[in-house]
Amino acid sequence: MRTRPARFGSPALLAALAAAPLLCAGCGDAGRPVWDGKGPLKVGVILPMTQQTATYGEESWNGMQLAAEDLRAREGTPAFELVLRDDRSNKQEAGNHAKALIETEQVHVLVGSVASSNTKQIFMEAREAGVPAITPASTNDRLTVEGGPLTSRVCFKDSFQGRLQAEFALARGWKRAAVVVDKAQDYSLGLAEFFKQAYEAGGGQTSLHYYVTEDTDFSSVIENVATQAPDLIFVAGYYEQIGPMIRQAKGRWDGKPILGGDGLDSPELPKLVGDTQAEIYLSTHFAADAPFERMRDFAARYKSRFGKSPGAMAALGYDVLLVLMDAARRARDAGTPDQLAQAIAQTQGVEGVSDKIDLTTPDRTPIKDAVIVKVDGGLKFHQAVPAPR
């Protein structure tokens, strides 16, 4: 497997990763930690701070820091004790960290991760231990179903994202799609399937082409797609693979529109694709230049603090702490894990950066609007896509 050195991480961040606070608010049944409502809620945070999807971890963590500061100023005391762990973009490490945070750090709730395969491991550990867990950004439909009633998310899911992408493509007359799938990632497999179902139901035709996360040479899939002469190339994957794939496809995919999901939403994507003539669109949760006051205000503050524009993961990182604070207030006199999870599942009307958040749906997934962005020297707002309500 290809590895890359970490490109992000100040000394302060590295110190945060190494820190392991040993406060314990007490233990409930079967050793589960109980929050007494008096001190800060202890939150175990598992994000990809290094390796392949490191921009997601950096943005999510930055967004959480801004939210924690806002809540601290509003509440007058620290609302959270955040314990950060780096899953290194690896699902096994995500699961190992979840187990350690529960058993050793005695966290009250887990937050993470971003990639759906990693979040699946976290949710499995949380379910086994009876500890609430919430993901800011993992979109695979099955996560909260298989994770059980203690799990939730603040982002939309792939059944919505796949359908809106199919409708976007068909509305432009793109009737034949080559669908490129990372068969090693739950996110990619699920998103590709939902796109395929909706696209074919709308009269489109598809062909499937596979790669795996570890690939660095995409010549085979590039050639297979090119021989299909599709109207559209749909890429279900993450920016660290899709960016180089598009760069390598120069001369073979020229003139073909490329459409992907929120796995492409990274400031690294325009750099990775390089000097391409491809017309690239992606669906996501947030755009810094969108014509919505909540998004632009957040983007301005984030840029002032961190020196760069935020992507969707920053907004979702911010929103997940708003949801936890809202639930904590309602569970303040009844802080067992089950009661905290129930309070999270009863979330209604939380005004997030990405959209208003309501988790009272059967699978504790909010029904939220999306945005389409275009890669044009950066990620630029293209259009809003309302969710069916």
Confidence of residue 31 (pLDDT cuts 50, 70, 90): low
- Judged against a pLDDT cut of 70, whether residue 86 lies above it is answered with yes
Question: So what's the pLDDT on residue 74?
Answer: 85
- Judged against a pLDDT cut of 70, whether residue 97 lies above it is answered with yes
- Judged against a pLDDT cut of 80, whether residue 321 lies above it is answered with yes
Confidence of residue 1 (pLDDT cuts 50, 70, 90): very low
- Judged against a pLDDT cut of 50, whether residue 342 lies above it is answered with yes
Cα–Cα dist 154/78, whole Å: 22
Q: Kindly state the tokens that stand for 368.
A: 């939220």
Q: Is 189 helix (H, G, I), strand (E, B) or coil?
A: helix
Ranges for all domains in the chain classified under CATH 3.40.50.2300: 11-156+293-369, 158-284
Matching residue, tokens 């801004």 = 66
Per-residue pLDDT reduced to its tens digit, 102-125: 999 999 999 999 999 999 999 999
Per-residue pLDDT reduced to its tens digit, 270-296: 999 999 888 999 999 999 999 999 999
Q: Do 312 and 290 contact (CB within 8 A), yes or no?
A: no
Pick the CATH number of 11-156+293-369 from 3.90.1150.10, 3.40.50.300, 3.30.300.30, 3.40.50.2300: 3.40.50.2300
Cα–Cα dist 296/299, whole Å: 5
Architecture of the domain defined by 158-284? 3-Layer(aba) Sandwich (3.40)
Cα–Cα dist 283/261, whole Å: 5
Segment 187-212 mean pLDDT: 98
- Judged against a pLDDT cut of 50, whether residue 212 lies above it is answered with yes
Cis peptide before 113 (omega within 30 of 0): yes
Confidence of residue 16 (pLDDT cuts 50, 70, 90): very low
Confidence of residue 132 (pLDDT cuts 50, 70, 90): very high
Question: So what's the pLDDT on residue 327?
Answer: 94
pTM of this structure: 0.90
Instruction: Give percent above pLDDT 90 in the chain.
Output: 82
Cα–Cα dist 219/279, whole Å: 20
